[in-house]
Structure 1
């Protein structure tokens, strides 16, 4: 099925800067971006900052940083709603003049009483149309000193029907929704109105968003129609569930995208994993950004909720860690080590990353390994007891003496270890494991000669002589 139409594809992401960019919004941004890129269209970033009390510049900065890290480049924006108040006012004035919106002077107390009475009668809580103008209707006298809100005059009859890109045909009767407030008393427009004017002005053709917005869509469609504006196509995606089976959200359980960056995940892994939370291309689990763009045509979006799986994300990330360029990994690990007060050059870290990356699922895990090259290590009491005893002490001292005169490279280290094994009648594990415990602080590592080669020789000798 081809979900495009004859006009150019223009998608958008419109986060609210009241906190971090959480995973659900990141997935929406990814799908919107991939769809636009697939069809050669445009991707717009809009900042919905009309919640003045809760919006912050720090949140804006974090959103932009997260978008940049994921590689979701936008063609237009960021566009800020609070810089468009004059435009919203002009459209509200137009709707009032055309009899499609009206001023409502009901106080919060009156609205509460109205809805309490409806509830007592077993009716649905909704605005009762006190200030809605109708032919022949006499409105109450305008109270003095009261600043009104503006309400949209929603159609009373008929159904709002749209063909959702994810859910199929959705129909909601107009009697299920009331006259929406589109401008608050402070003159700031509400979400459902501002989003329509923005999507109209920005010629948005396709809107991908979470299915919590399904109930907003009938109001928005009616406002589009009242303005004579073309309707975008809507795709409402199923939620992402956390480990507890509850919806991930900014207010409950969601972790910021940038927290995963700090946690040692690679952006290509996060992009790959996020894209599979609600969309599929056959059985493909691992694919490139280019493949995603090639495949993402708006079909195969799942109707069922997706389950966030940290273990699956780690598996995906470990794949990309293994594939990553060693110099790039070294730069990322240098940042992780710097957080621990360890300064290490990218040049020195690069061969270390090459040796250890197959064992790691994040750059934090890689830094955990490589810290032993720059700071003191201490094996657990259990490992020391299991592998260090008086019988191995002479061999360790002999090996340290051999190392002292050695040209420090893997072949020479391997030869010295074999010599020592032969001289003391040992098998390789009987010497190699105690060496690992003393030098590396753990009994299991890659090949011991390859590991030791990357240490400064003096550190190896000092640690061997410490027992």
Structure 2
């Protein structure tokens, strides 16, 4: 059996060094273990999608030496499959229409945001709402009902993970009022139909996995991929890389004349390949071992920027 993974950039922003490290690790694991790689552009985040960002991400991954076997496939090019999934969930009363705003949820539940996702727990306000007319089906927000039970799975990097969705996030969103599927629904539908059974991504998505497993079960999908949730790259303040930490875009370094081998060298050190040095993709592939990847988040320091640019 041939296993398959996916590289799934979202064109809501530029590819930065943290994204690049995750994609590079995913690529190396796939090439070492003989998995197929599918490139999927997750472009369903409405107004946050930036024009040209998808094409730039594709170009930059290729510049770093990351290749793939299938794609790119764009989620926005085929909404019918997500509509069919929502219809199935609605028909079996596993999901319900809900247009509650964040302020309304906060007022109803008096809950604090979820620490890792700035997400409020949904208190079940619209669980007994009427099914909307067919012509309004995809113009309403929808949530998936969750049971009050403990869910768990074992991640190959992060270890055992347990959560009670009912107590932490409640019934979660699967369709938005903008007429688009949520990240959770789109990912489950696509991973199943594209036969993705090896998922490597950042540990900021660790808490999404039980939701996706619950959703797949409600859709009666045979969906049991293996997971590796990797540590993130953060700024010196402990927050995820962003503009406040300076320009960490891969395109910024390419525009400064930094060769890809130097970027790979920094990423290689962050991946446990020893002291940083210019490195080809072949060298990275030969030396990378997932068991040597540091378990803690990596901190991007000003010295890292200076090392990247000092040869220019």
Range into which the TM-score falls when normalised by the shorter chain: 0.7 to 0.9
- The structure whose Rg is larger is 1
CA gap of 1:297–1:42, structure 2 versus 1, over 3 A, is: farther
1:237 paired to 2:230? yes
Rounded to whole Å, the distance in 2 between the matches of 1:251 and 1:308 is: 13
1:95 paired to 2:86? no
Rounded to whole Å, the distance in 2 between the matches of 1:18 and 1:94 is: 29
1:270 paired to 2:294? no
Pick aligned residue for 1:130 from 111, 125, 138: 125
Q: CA deviation at 1:119?
A: 1.5
Indicate if the aligned counterparts of 1:165 and 1:298 stay in contact, CA closer than 8 A. Answer: no
Aligned to 2:115: none
Q: How does 1:2-17 map to 2 (within 5 A)?
A: 7-17=1-11
1:203 paired to 2:195? yes
Report SS of the residue matched to 1:32: helix
CA gap of 1:107–1:304, structure 2 versus 1, over 3 A, is: closer
1:192 paired to 2:187? no
Pick aligned residue for 1:294 from 286, 292, 296: 286
Quick check: 7-16 or 23-32, which moved more? 7-16
1:168 paired to 2:163? no
Report SS of the residue matched to 2:154: strand
1:24 paired to 2:18? yes
Q: CA deviation at 1:11?
A: 1.9
Q: How does 1:209-358 map to 2 (within 5 A)?
A: 209-227=201-219, 228-242=221-235, 244-253=236-245, 254-277=247-270, 279-281=271-273, 283=274, 285-286=276-277, 288-309=280-301, 311=303
CA gap of 1:125–1:190, structure 2 versus 1, over 3 A, is: closer
CA gap of 1:141–1:40, structure 2 versus 1, over 3 A, is: closer
- After superposition, what is the alpha-carbon deviation per residue over 1:100-137, rounded to whole angstroms, capped at 9, x for unaligned? 22223x443xx63442243289xx9532223325xxxx
Report SS of the residue matched to 2:26: helix
Indicate if the aligned counterparts of 2:121 and 2:168 stay in contact, CA closer than 8 A. Answer: no
Unaligned runs of 5+ in 2: 113-118
Q: Aligned residue pairs: how many?
A: 299
Unaligned runs of 5+ in 1: 1-6, 134-138, 319-360, 365-467
1:158 paired to 2:149? yes
Q: How does 1:178-189 map to 2 (within 5 A)?
A: 178-189=170-181
Q: TM-score when scaled to structure 2?
A: 0.84
Q: How does 1:288-437 map to 2 (within 5 A)?
A: 288-309=280-301, 311=303, 361-362=310-311, 364=312
Rounded to whole Å, the distance in 1 between the matches of 2:3 and 2:283 is: 19
Q: TM-score when scaled to structure 1?
A: 0.58
Indicate if the aligned counterparts of 2:156 and 2:226 stay in contact, CA closer than 8 A. Answer: yes
Rounded to whole Å, the distance in 2 between the matches of 1:270 and 1:209 is: 20
Rounded to whole Å, the distance in 1 between the matches of 2:111 and 2:159 is: 36
Flag the structure with higher helix content.
1
Flag the structure with higher strand content.
2
CA gap of 1:206–1:251, structure 2 versus 1, over 3 A, is: farther
Indicate if the aligned counterparts of 1:23 and 1:255 stay in contact, CA closer than 8 A. Answer: yes
Aligned to 1:417: none
Rounded to whole Å, the distance in 1 between the matches of 2:228 and 2:266 is: 20
- After superposition, what is the alpha-carbon deviation per residue over 1:346-375, rounded to whole angstroms, capped at 9, x for unaligned? xxxxxxxxxxxxxxx42x3xxxxxxxxxxx
Rounded to whole Å, the distance in 2 between the matches of 1:54 and 1:266 is: 30
- After superposition, what is the alpha-carbon deviation per residue over 1:272-296, rounded to whole angstroms, capped at 9, x for unaligned? 321332x325x46555433432344
Q: CA deviation at 1:141?
A: 8.9
Q: CA deviation at 1:75?
A: 1.3
Report SS of the residue matched to 2:53: helix
Rounded to whole Å, the distance in 2 between the matches of 1:213 and 1:112 is: 24
Q: How does 1:70-81 map to 2 (within 5 A)?
A: 70-81=64-75
Question: RMSD across aligned C-alpha pairs, in angstroms?
Answer: 2.8
